[in-house]
Structure 1
Amino acid sequence: MSQNPAEVPSEPVAIEDESHLEEVVSEYDVVLVDFYADWCGPCKMIEPVLEGLARETDAAIAKVDVDQHQILAGQMGVQGVPTLLLYADGAQVERVVGVQPAERLKAMIENHSE
């Protein structure tokens, strides 16, 4: 990892393609990736939680629209939405499916933050 990690964005980052996801995961120490769909009710429920985590934690929050990025979602083994993947130091360390309480997501992030 770089000595001066990039400043973590304070709002979720929309992922444009596979290489953009790889770039975000390698740029920040901890990244929580939300695979979501606009038509998904639970995805809408978790959105304010993710926005809060982007502001309150040291993790970058990335969002992948599974309808726009079906191949990427398939490569990541996403079968249901929302699926949340947590990366630390460039490696996937956790995966959860479905709406999660803010406290659980925050604890996952803090467990992998330095």
Structure 2
Amino acid sequence: MPLASSLTSARALRGDAAAARASSRRRPSARDASSSSLLPSARRIARGRSSPAVRASGSPFDKLEIWDAERAECALAEGGTAVVSFGTTWCGPCAVLKPELEQLARAMDDVRAVADVVVAKLDAEEAPALASAHAVGAYPTTLWLREGAEVHRLEGSLPASALVQLTAMHLLDAEAEEFLRAEQPKWFAPTPLEPMEMASASRAAPGMLI
């Protein structure tokens, strides 16, 4: 938050009023601090009101919606098609998952002409009733909802390509999936095995060619 700047005080020190005016500064009051932080907060609130589903975003390319409890309740009650991830601020895997969700949101924005899939994230500790209603017991837990009904869930983190493929499988119709594959084929390219996984697969199936 912005700090209130110290202001020159008119309080005079005994014996040298001029020196006192040059060097004396008063401590910022609570009123100063509140007034200095009011304008940025008001701007943030105004931006939130103009787009209630999304908090202020640092980038115009950020398509991931950040829901508060009220917005989440309204959106889930509407019964739309969405990928919703429950997390917390202190959860390490949640922080790992967030940029992957952002990539998923951008991928879904590419198919908005043929399918409307919202990708959202919310703090489960701000919406405990919703987390409980959806049986969220681990973080992050991501739900795939089709017309308001859960069709898939994931506990933990996955790369964006896996999230896109899960979304295509569970939420997109054939036309939308075909469109996404044509527009963004990178999301559907096979992921090569890591060296350790290849060694493990060789031991498990010695006669299998990799």
Question: Unpaired runs of 5+ in structure 1?
Answer: 1-8
Task: Tell me which amino acid in the other structure corresponds to 1:85.
Answer: L
- Check if 1:95 corresponds to 2:153: yes
Aligned counterpart, 1:32: 83
- Check if 1:65 corresponds to 2:123: yes
Which is higher, the Rg of structure 1 or of structure 2?
Answer: 2
The correspondence for 1:77, drawn from 135, 146, 153, is 135
The question of whether the paired residues in 1 share the 8 Å contact of 2:73 and 2:130 is answered with no
Distance 2:167 2:87 in 1: 19
Q: Which has the higher helix share?
A: 2
- Check if 1:104 corresponds to 2:162: yes
Task: Tell me which amino acid in the other structure corresponds to 2:172.
Answer: S
Q: TM-score, normalised by structure 2?
A: 0.45
Instruction: Say which SS state the counterpart of residue 157 (structure 2) adopts.
Output: coil
Aligned length: 104
Instruction: Say which SS state the counterpart of residue 120 (structure 2) adopts.
Output: strand
Task: Tell me which amino acid in the other structure corresponds to 1:45.
Answer: V
Q: TM-score, normalised by structure 1?
A: 0.79
Distance 2:103 2:79 in 1: 21
How far does the alpha carbon of each residue in 1:6-58 deviate from its partner, in whole angstroms, 9 at most, with x for none?
xxx9622222226x335434374x31000010101100001111011111124
Distance 2:79 2:130 in 1: 19
Distance 2:124 2:95 in 1: 14
Instruction: Say which SS state the counterpart of residue 131 (structure 2) adopts.
Output: helix
- Check if 1:45 corresponds to 2:96: yes
Question: Unpaired runs of 5+ in structure 2?
Answer: 1-53, 55-61, 112-116, 174-210
The higher relative CO (CA closer than 8 Å, separation ≥ 6) is in 1
Distance 2:129 2:79 in 1: 23
Task: Tell me which amino acid in the other structure corresponds to 1:17.
Answer: A
Task: Tell me which amino acid in the other structure corresponds to 1:77.
Answer: A
The question of whether the paired residues in 1 share the 8 Å contact of 2:68 and 2:123 is answered with no
Dislocated runs of 4+, deviation >6 Å? none
Aligned counterpart, 2:4: none
Distance 1:104 1:24 in 2: 25
Structure 1 residues 22, 93: CA separation in 2 closer, same or farther (over 3 Å shift)? Answer: farther
Distance 2:89 2:72 in 1: 19
Aligned counterpart, 1:15: 67
Aligned counterpart, 1:4: none
Deviation at 1:102, TM superposition (A): 1.6
